[in-house]
Homo-oligomer: A and B are copies of this chain.
Amino acid sequence: MPEINLVEAVNQALAYEMEHDPSVMALGEDIGVNGGVFRATLGLRERFGQDRVLDTPLSEVLIGAMSIGLSTMKIRPVAEIQFSGFLYSNLDNIINHASRMRNRTQGRLSCPMVIRSPSGGGIHAPEHHSESPEAMFAHVPGIRVVIPSSPLRAYGLLLAAIRDPDPVIFLEPTRLYRLFKQEVPDNGKAELLDVCLTIREGTDVTLVSWGAMMNEVQIAAETLSTEGIEAEVIDVATIKPLDMETILKSVAKTGRCVIVHEAPRCAGFGAEIAANLAEHGLLTLFAPVCRVTGYDAVMPLAKLEKSYIPSVEKIIKAVRKTVQFA
C-alpha cells in the first residue's frame, strides 16, 4: 500500500464518502477545477461532477450559511474555508445557527455539516493564513471541534465528522499536510470522535496536545526518554466535547501535566484542560500544570513564525521543570 500524506488522506476520505453517500457534497473556493489551494479536493470534481463539488464565489459567510440550509434539507455539506483566518466571518452562522438549529427546532431540523479549514502556522504563508482558532469554537455549545494529527487520523476522523449528525469544525494542521506519510487503508472505517488517544505510555508526566504540535510533542517525548523521563502522550483530537477522563486518569498516574498548543495562551484551549485538572485532579497533582503555548501576540508573518510556535526545546524544558518540581 502506498503511503500518503495528510492532505491526501483528507482527499481519500472525501472521495470515499462521496462515493458511498450520495447526499455528501463539497463546497468552497477553488475546490473544483483547481482541486483546492492545498489540493485536498483534487480530482473530486472530475469524479463527482461540479454540482457536488461546488466552486463558490468568494463569499465565506455564504459558504457557512448555505451549508446550514443544505444540511437542514438532508444534504451533507463538507465546506472548505481556504485558510483559518477567513473562518472568523463564519462564526456568526456557526454560533447562531449551525450549532442551534437542532435545539431551536427540538430535533425537527438539524445541521450535520462539516467545515474544514487548514489551521496553524509554519508554512511561511501570508497574514491570516496561520491562525489557531480552536478555543473559540470549543466555547460554542452544540458543535464538535476535531483536529487530526496524522494522515491515518485525518482519514478516520474526517469520515466520522462527515457521518456525525451534528456540525463539526474540522481543523487540518497545515504544517502536517505534507510533513510525513503513512499507509492509510481506504476502508471507510471512521475513528471514534469524542475521545482522546494515548499515543505513548509513560509514568513521569502527561503531555497533552493536538494537531500539528503533536509532532513537536512526540519528538520531545522521545528525547526526554533518552534522559530517563517517560512521558505519557495524549492526542486530544476531539477538542470539543473534551474527553477529560482520559487525561485525568493519566495525570492520576503521572502526577504531572504539560499542555502544549500553538494558539495564544490567554483563554486558549489549554486553559480548559488545566482548569479541569485544578478542579477534578487537584489532589493528584505533584507539580504545577504547565502550559507551553504560542504567545499572546499576533501570529507573526513568516519571518518570526518559528519564534512564535512552541519549539521542541521549549517543550522539553517545560517537562524537565515539571518533572523536577518537588
Contacts and interface: CB of A to CB of B under 8 A. Distances in A.
Interface residues of A, number: 52
A290 B278 CA distance: 8
A288 B280 contact: yes
B135 A267 contact: yes
Contacts of A295: 141
A136 B295 CA distance: 16
Give the number of times this chain occurs in the complex, counting copies.
Answer: 2
A272 to B, nearest CB: 5
With a 10 A CB-CB cut-off, give which of A86, A136, A138, A142 has the most chain B CB atoms. Answer: A136
Interface stretch (A50-58, A99-107, A202-210): A99-107
Interface string A104-127: 100000000000000000000001
A310 to B, nearest CB: 15
A297 interface: yes
29 contacts: A61-B89, A85-B96, A86-B92, A88-B92, A88-B95, A88-B96, A89-B92, A91-B92, A96-B128, A103-B298, A135-B135, A135-B139, A139-B264, A139-B268, A141-B264, A141-B295, A141-B297, A141-B298, A266-B272, A270-B275, A271-B274, A274-B274, A275-B275, A275-B291, A277-B278, A279-B288, A279-B291, A282-B287, A282-B288
